Amino acid sequence: MTLGQIKNVDIEDKKIVLINLDEKIYALDRICTHSYADLSIGIVNDDTITCPLHFAQFNLKTGEATSMPATEPLKQYEIIIKDDDVFLNDT
């Protein structure tokens, strides 16, 4: 993944967004906690992703909701990279 790139993946029933930020990949739930909107079409600026529907913002590093109307965080997943494969640790 190139710097700043967003990818969406579906793993079983989970919808995940992968974001390359500062050469580190972050994985978060892809659906906004405020309203059902796909964050993979959101806007990434610094360490924040903005929802395309109501402009709620989330911290990419923690999943924390940082602006209204969202109040609940996004679930964050640990990333494990082996060779060219990316694995999620759902703990």
What would the pLDDT profile of 38-65 be if each residue is shown by its tens digit?
999 999 998 999 999 999 999 999 999 9
Task: Give the pLDDT band of residue 11 (cuts 50, 70, 90).
Answer: confident
Work out how many domains the chain is built from and give that number: 1
CATH number at residue 46: 2.102.10.10
pTM of the model: 0.87
Question: By residue range, what is the domain housing residue 46?
Answer: 6-89
- CA angle 34-37-39, nearest 5°? 100
Residue 1 has pLDDT above 70, yes or no: no
The pLDDT of residue 88: 82
Q: Give the residue among 91, 29, 88 at the shortest CA–CA distance from 60.
A: 29
